[in-house]
Amino acid sequence: MLSLRDLNRATLARQHLLSRHEGDVTDVVHRLAGLQAQEPRPPYLGVWARLAGFGRDDLHAALHARTLVRATMWRGTLHLVTAADFAAFRPVVAPVLAAAARRFDGIDADAVVAAAGRLLAAGPLTFNELRPRLLAEFPGGYDRALGYVVRMLTPLVMEPTGDRWSYPRDPAFGLPGIEPRPAGVPALIERYLAAFGPATPADVQTWSGLGGLGKVMAGMELERVTDFAGRELFDLPGAPRPGGDVPAPVRFLPDFDTLILGHADRTRVLADEHRGLVTTKNLRVRAVYLVDGFAAGTWQIKRSGKKARLLVSPFGESRLDVLEEEGLRLLAFAEPDATSLSLETAPS
């Protein structure tokens, strides 16, 4: 039987949060099956928390080389994934995205997708540029709906720029130039378990958006384990489960981090009583820090001139000295031109 701490340490080991991965940025993104990336900066901070010796230019270069891409993937949200995973799994989640696109009635989705393909064949466009062009071809339509249908049904990647976090506020999207190589649902499940397991079918569904996974997982050659609540969890044979007594260092995770969003039952990292302090009413997922492997508070960076402050909001009693070393390292990475760095408790 796996205790709560056993589950916590198993997942942290696979997320490279017990010890940072020794390798390159593409490898760690592959191992995580991607990082959520609604905004440009969080994926950089998510990789920084997990990869030894990581520099901003490493991810910037991989994006420009298109070994990594930022694209609509799991649950219809933007993720940073490897180009190989985009080719393998974008077709697998296509039914989920197609179902989301059907929320708008009265749209000839095939015609809209064909029109977008013609427009984007000439070069990348921002959606602020694409929507009025689509509206010219479909007069009387709702421009936001037209853009949403394109985003869900057309495989696109964001075009990186020279900005600090590789993308401007209004990024352009382009055709990927990546040949689809569908890997299938079992391969997706294996990749999930390698990054998030042990897990239930509901966990995999929460992360991927795909349904009907219980039957698929029951038919795979997976190990079955029982947790402290008596639930049956699936895992890859031989996957790391180091045990709940293994030390877990302080780690700072960014907004929308994949670890916080990766399970139906998040208690292996985030206690239920703290969930409302992390996920806001408008569905923003705040940045959290881990102490002894579990979310112990949220954090944010405040910048004033050359002064950068890391403000922490603990869920309970919290010693700042425990957070200081890792927190100031994070601040130096996120704000490299700041001349004054400090870690403080946020005003209540």
Per-residue pLDDT, 141: 86
Q: What is the pLDDT of residue 348?
A: 75
Whether 317 is covered by a domain: the verdict is yes
Within a domain: residue 276? yes
Cβ count near 137 (within 10 Å): 15
Give the separation between CA 134 and CA 147, rounded to whole angstroms.
8
Residue 170 located in a structural domain: no
Per the domain annotation, does 199 fall within a domain?
Answer: no
Say what the pLDDT of residue 175 is: 97
CA angle 295, 20, 201 (to 5 degrees): 55
Question: Is 330 among the domain residues?
Answer: yes
Determine the pLDDT at residue 135. Answer: 94
Residue with tokens 């969080």: 42
21 lies in some domain: no
**304 found inside a domain:** yes
Joined tokens for residue 243? 């045990």
Residue 335 within any structural domain of the chain: yes
Q: Which domain holds residue 335?
A: 270-345
Helix (H) or strand (E) holding 302: strand 294-304
For the chain, list residues with pLDDT below 50: none
Q: d(Cα 199, Cα 63) in Å, to the nearest integer?
A: 31
Question: Is this structure's pTM higher than 0.75?
Answer: yes
Total domains, the chain: 1
Closest CA to 287 of 249, 332, 257: 257
Cα–Cα distance for residue pair 153/170, rounded to 1 Å: 20
57-72 burial code (b ≥16 CB/10 A, e <16): ebbbebbeebbbbbbb
- The sign of the torsion formed by the CA atoms of 146, 283, 32, 265 equals negative
- pLDDT at residue 163 in the model: 94
DSSP string across 47-112: HHTTBTT--HHHHHHHHHHTSEEEEE-GGG-EEEEEHHHHHHHTTTSHHHHHHHHTTSTT--HHHH
What does the pLDDT read at residue 282? 82
What integer pLDDT is reported at residue 89 of this predicted model? 98
Q: Are 192 and 12 within 8 A, CB to CB?
A: no
Which residues are within 8 A (CB) of 96 and not within 5 positions of it... i.e. 6 or more apart?
A: 75, 76, 208, 209, 210
Distance CA 205, CA 74 (A): 10
What is the rounded average pLDDT for all residues in the chain? Answer: 96
